[in-house]
Amino acid sequence: MDKPTASTPPTSIANVAALLQPIFGARPELWSRFQTFYDSMWTSGQISRRVLEICRLRIASIHDCSAEWSFRTVDVFVSDVELDALRRGDFSAFDHCEQAALHVAEKFPFQHDDIADAEVQAIEAGYGSAAAVALLTAVAFFDVRCRWHLVMSSNVPN
């Protein structure tokens, strides 16, 4: 497996949070509660952090959201080959269960009506019911975070 390179600097969740905090500047209570909620998805242990990370990155790529794409969850390893595949939407490098997660994540932003029963059930078959609910919840909020970044930030190209 490839090693991380300087092109993928690890960033802590705390630093990631700093990206969105200014958006909530007028509502610190709301921000505090959002952080607690978002962190719980990453720390509950119901679904692996790697699966969360690859789905988060794929959604960031779909939205072309540089803010979300530019950081990496520090204790999750995703190789440069895998990052390139996530950029292209090629899931063949991932294992069967990860592919099931990515296929649903792929449709969340703009094709949610096209998510098939079988695709959701493939996640449940691979990870279990509780993990499937945890993953689908997290994926929804990965989509939300990209939309926040894109709508509430300058549209000057990066």
Partner 1 sequence: MSTTPRLNPPPNTSADFGSYLGYIGKTAAAFFDLYAEYWQRGVLPPDLKETTRLRNARITDCGY
User: What are the residues binding partner 1 (CB under 8 A)?
Assistant: 26-27, 29-30, 33-34, 36-37, 40-41, 44, 46, 112-113, 117, 120-121, 124, 129-130, 132-134, 137
Angle between helix 117-127 and 129-152 (nearest 10): 120
Strand partners, 10: 72
Q: Least distance in Å: CB of 18 to partner 1?
A: 19
Q: Least distance in Å: CB of 33 to partner 1?
A: 4
Closer residue to partner 1, CB minimum distance, 79 or 137: 137
Per the CB < 8 A criterion, the answer to whether 153 and 61 are in contact is no
Query: How is residue 52 written in tokens?
Result: 């969360």
Q: Least distance in Å: CB of 99 to partner 1?
A: 18
CA distance 67 to 71: 7
Closer residue to partner 1, CB minimum distance, 33 or 87: 33
